[in-house]
Amino acid sequence: MALLDINHISYQVGAARIIDDLCLAIQDSEVHVALLGTNGTGKSTLAYLIVGCESYRPAAGTIVLAGRDISGLHIHERARLGITMAWQEPVRFEAISVAHYLTLGNKELDPELYLNMVGLQPALYLSRMVDSSLSGGERKRIELTSILALQLKIAILG
Ligand SMILES: Nc1ncnc2c1ncn2[C@@H]1O[C@H](COP(=O)(O)OP(=O)(O)OP(=O)(O)O)[C@@H](O)[C@H]1O
Ligand SMILES: [Mg+2]
């Protein structure tokens, strides 16, 4: 059984069929490096359907996580089951340091461990602010750090 099974899903907005009969199986511990497609082919829409963003429900087909049909669950219910995504535009918060941001959900977390995983030196980044003073790539890495720290089942990187 695949960890995530997307079975014949379709998604439509008005008369526009944005996703048509798509199937995809992701195995446990599998890393899908990239989902390629030209602009407007539906990559972000597929991500929103998987994480369950508001109003993104398949018109047909099912999304099954570890044998459980999650197609009708809300985004917070899917998050609890271990699915999240990083948005196309990386995070940016005013007046929150990297150390504070990474430990918001878990005060016990060792942010240095996770910063090292994404190639950012803790001494240089822990007290930086998660705002526009960080480059886009640095903010993406900080966001990836927070996702790694959550130890999820499925992480979609937009
Ligand atoms: N609410 C909507 N109404 C009409 N069209 C929509 C709506 N939402 C998405 N679309 C269209 O669906 C298509 C897929 O959009 P999506 O954002 O998934 O593309 P993408 O593959 O992520 O593109 P990009 O590479 O530019 O990020 C686009 O043509 C978009 O304009
Ligand atoms: Mg997109």
Select from 81, 114, 134 the last residue of a domain: 81
Which pLDDT tens digit goes with each residue over 78-128? Answer: 999 999 888 777 777 888 999 999 998 889 999 999 999 999 999 999 999
* Element spanning 124, H or E: helix 122-125
42 CA from centroid of ligand 2 (Å): 7
This prediction's pTM: 0.84
Which pLDDT tens digit goes with each residue over 33-68? Answer: 678 899 999 999 999 999 999 989 999 999 999 999
Select from 56, 81, 106 the last residue of a domain: 81
Measuring from each residue's beta carbon to the nearest atom of ligand 1, which residues come in under 6 Å?
A: 13, 16, 18, 37, 39-45
Domain of residue 76, residue span: 4-81
Q: Pick the residue whose CA is nearest to atom 3 on ligand 1.
A: 13
In total, how many domains does the chain have? 2
* Dihedral over alpha carbons 48, 58, 152, 138 (to 10 degrees): -10
Report d(CA 38, CA 42) in Å as an integer. Answer: 9
Residue 11 lies in a domain: yes
Q: Indicate if 116 and 146 belong to the same structural domain.
A: yes
Q: Indicate if 65 and 121 belong to the same structural domain.
A: no
Q: Indicate if 75 and 141 belong to the same structural domain.
A: no
